[in-house]
């Protein structure tokens, strides 16, 4: 996250709210990085929550609705086929507990801020497992709310 922080601090005219939203949209980083990033940029907790959750939510419907078609389209390509297969395998390796508990498994997977978990991976797994769109969306949103609470306590509360 350090190079990203350096870039945004080197461009002081860039709105910090937009910076937090963009960081929170990135896979792997998501709001797990967005909220601490907002703290570093001196945003109040309310703004940190709003913009990081917003950024984390934006890609989720796109992933749930289109990722299977995108993967089908890219899999046969020479250069991206192997990457797509690797992404699918990686997501499916994490899907056992989610497949069994479906809704609550997805909530826990997205909500507990550990490396390799979060909204992006949760949405990918839900799409690959063909979990009902409404159920997956609700579970991912609840998971994002839990992750936001945990990260807020860490960044602004307990260690802030």
Q: The domain containing residue 101 runs over which residues?
A: 59-146
Closest CA to 146 of 32, 23, 63, 54: 32
Structure tokens at 41: 């940029």
Whole-prediction pTM: 0.86
Q: Does 105 lie in the same domain as 81? A: yes
Tens of pLDDT along 1-44? 678 777 777 777 889 999 999 999 999 899 999 999 999 999 99
Round to the nearest angstrom and report the end-to-end CA distance of the chain.
Answer: 18
If asked whether residues 49 and 63 sit together in one domain, one would say no
Statement to judge: residues 51 and 128 lie in one domain: no
How many domains are contained in the chain? Answer: 2
Q: Say which residue the tokens 């389209």 belong to.
A: 73
**25-35 residue pLDDT tens:** 999 899 999 99
């Amino acid at each position: 996250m350090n190079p990203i922080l350096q870039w945004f601090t080197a461009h002081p005219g860039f709105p910090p709210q937009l910076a937090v939203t963009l960081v929170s949209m990135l896979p792997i980083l998501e709001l797990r990085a967005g909220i601490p990033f907002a703290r570093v940029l001196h945003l109040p907790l309310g703004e940190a929550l709003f913009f990081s959750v917003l950024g984390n939510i934006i890609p989720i419907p796109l992933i749930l609705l289109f990722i299977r078609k995108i993967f089908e389209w890219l899999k046969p390509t020479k250069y991206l086929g192997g990457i797509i297969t690797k992404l699918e395998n990686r997501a499916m390796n994490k899907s056992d507990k989610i497949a069994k508990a479906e809704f609550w498994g997805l909530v826990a997977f997205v909500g507990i801020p550990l490396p390799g978990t979060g909204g992006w991976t949760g949405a990918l797994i839900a799409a690959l497992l063909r979990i009902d769109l409404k159920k997956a969306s609700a579970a991912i949103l609840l998971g994002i709310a839990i992750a936001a609470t945990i990260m807020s306590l860490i960044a602004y509360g307990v260690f802030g």
